[in-house]
Amino acid sequence: MRNNQINGSEHSEDLKEMIRNHPSLHIIDLSNSESNVNKNKLRNMGVAAIIDGILESKKQGHSLISELNLSYNQLTKECLPHFGRLHDKEFVRLESLNLSNNNIGPDFFKIVQPIVSTFKILVLGNTGLNN
């Protein structure tokens, strides 16, 4: 779903339903390429929907999603507490998170600390971590 016109305020419920109802998903890539930075605009509302969809798929026993790429999606630090909700290591298997080119600011590690140790890959380029 990379480089599409997916908007968090318009498509949140659809995103949540898709993730919840397709527990076999392993990778969610809603990123934008550098040449298409204004395609997907999930914003913080879209992140909430994605996390809700993952958590609501608990009926399956555990989430198979191991990779989440949300680069260039106009995210801010307000989306970070949603990631902290993925702290159940028995259920969540997220190993790779890409939030690059979003303005998440310097509070990332403080807010998302409970799940950082579960990642094998964490991409945070151009996110304002040092602001």
Return all residues near 97 (Cβ < 8 A) that are at least 6 apart: 67, 68, 70, 83, 119, 121, 122, 123
Do 97 and 125 touch, CB atoms closer than 8 A? Answer: no
**pLDDT above 80 for 26:** yes
Do 69 and 98 touch, CB atoms closer than 8 A? Answer: yes
pLDDT tens-digit map of 89-117: 788 889 999 999 999 999 999 999 888 98
3-class SS of residue 56: helix
**Dist. CA 29–CA 112, nearest whole Å:** 20
Q: Which CATH class is domain 8-123?
A: alpha beta
Buried b (16+ CB within 10 A) or exposed e, 19-56: bbeebebeebebbbeeeebebbbbbbbbbbbbbbbbbe
CA angle (33, 116, 114) in 5-degree steps: 130
Q: How many angstroms separate the most distant Cα atoms in the chain?
A: 41
pLDDT tens-digit map of 37-96: 556 578 899 999 999 999 988 666 778 899 999 998 899 999 999 998 998 878 888 999
